Amino acid sequence: MKLEGKKVLLTGASGGIGEELAQELAAQGAHLLLHGRRGPALDRLCKALPHPERHQVVIADLGVAHERAKLLQHPALEDGLDILINNAGCNQFAWLEDQSAEQVERQLLLNIEAPIQLTRALLPTMRKPGIIMNMGSSFGSIGYPGYSVYCASKFALRGFSEALGRELEGSGIKVLHFAPRATRTKLNSEAAYEMNAELGTQTDSPQEVAEEAVIALCNETRRSWLGWPEKLFVQLNALLPAIVDKALAKQLPVIERYARHLQARTAEPGVGAQPQPVLSRPIPTKKEL
């Protein structure tokens, strides 16, 4: 799909991958409705984009039903939407027993319930041809210690994307799932970055992720995983999960040292996501396998 003149709703646009996505989309002529929770950051971004008069902002907490309703009532959505990019999200790097009930709920609300509810509400008025892009994660295919709830939400988002895409086959609306690997954003804690460094995990910049995501969007690629060897481990985990079990068991002491009993902090939705989205994804090396 060519992006020139297309109307795009981008959630989680106020930082990280979302901010870079906005830059890439605007550079290709898209007209953006930028969502986030931080008004000043959104306003600065909007003014910095090519042709700022083409773009608008909306401030809402997607984890709250009446705030989602406020987004859906924005005048920019009255005459339909060409592209919905579900990028907003959050994560908590900690053992499950060290997370509060509120932190568990927040991840599930933002990472899976919000995109499902937004998609459901916007589908009847989406233009055809249209695209829904869900920003996933390599952790949506590989269960990783310290990210149990985040993995649950991203596995669910991948399943939702696949099922809805099949449901909408032939309708003129396509559903894409784009899964980044480790990305350098403020969404992640310092402990996660330190763990990545010790494990030798490769990371991408938000700009690199955004560039690849826009390529996948323009090519209408249904399933995308970013990075090598992450693509290999996604397939390996699907076919031979016991091998990945053993590899991660070797990493477990290092992971636990960084993840256990951390002061729990939930990042602001959309700062990194995506995404995408978009958190530390330490993956076993070939040597460990």
Task: List, for residues 9-51, the tens digit of each pLDDT value.
Answer: 999 999 899 999 999 999 999 999 999 999 999 999 999 999 9
* Domain annotation covers residue 249: yes
Domain span including residue 26: 7-259
* Domain annotation covers residue 273: no
Mean pLDDT for all residues in the chain: 89
Instruction: Give the DSSP letter of residue 183.
Output: B
Give the residue ranges of DSSP H helices in the chain: 16-27, 39-48, 65-72, 101-108, 114-122, 148-167, 190-199, 206-219, 230-239, 241-259
* Domain annotation covers residue 272: no
Render the burial of 243-252: b for 16+ CB within 10 Å, e for the rest: ebeebbeebe
pLDDT at 264 over 70: no
- The sign of the CA dihedral 102, 104, 109, 113 is negative
* Domain annotation covers residue 264: no
* Domain annotation covers residue 91: yes
* Domain annotation covers residue 289: no
Question: Cα–Cα distance between 45 and 111 in angstroms, integer?
Answer: 23
Q: Mean pLDDT throughout 157-172? A: 98
CA 279, distance to chain mean position in Å, is 9
CATH of the domain at 112: 3.40.50.720
* Domain annotation covers residue 233: yes
Task: List, for residues 72-131, the tens digit of each pLDDT value.
Answer: 999 999 999 999 999 999 999 999 999 999 999 999 999 999 999 999 999 999 999 999
Number of domains in the chain: 1
Question: Cα–Cα distance between 212 and 43 in angstroms, integer?
Answer: 25
Q: What is the pTM of this model?
A: 0.89
Tokens representing 71 are 């987004």
Task: List, for residues 200-241, the tens digit of each pLDDT value.
Answer: 787 889 999 999 999 999 999 999 999 888 889 999 999 999
CA distances from 225 to 38, 89, 112, 216 (A): 29, 18, 19, 10
Tokens representing 176 are 């894409």
Answer yes or no: are the C-beta atoms of 165 and 263 closer than 8 Å.
no
* Domain annotation covers residue 277: no
pLDDT at 287 over 90: no
Cite the active site residues: 150
Question: Cα–Cα distance between 45 and 183 in angstroms, integer?
Answer: 20
Give the per-residue SS3 of 18-35: HHHHHHHHHHCCCEEEEE
Instruction: Give the DSSP letter of residue 95.
Output: -
Question: Cα–Cα distance between 89 and 72 in angstroms, integer?
Answer: 18
Tokens representing 157 are 């988002």
CA distances from 8 to 13, 130, 154, 195 (A): 12, 10, 22, 36
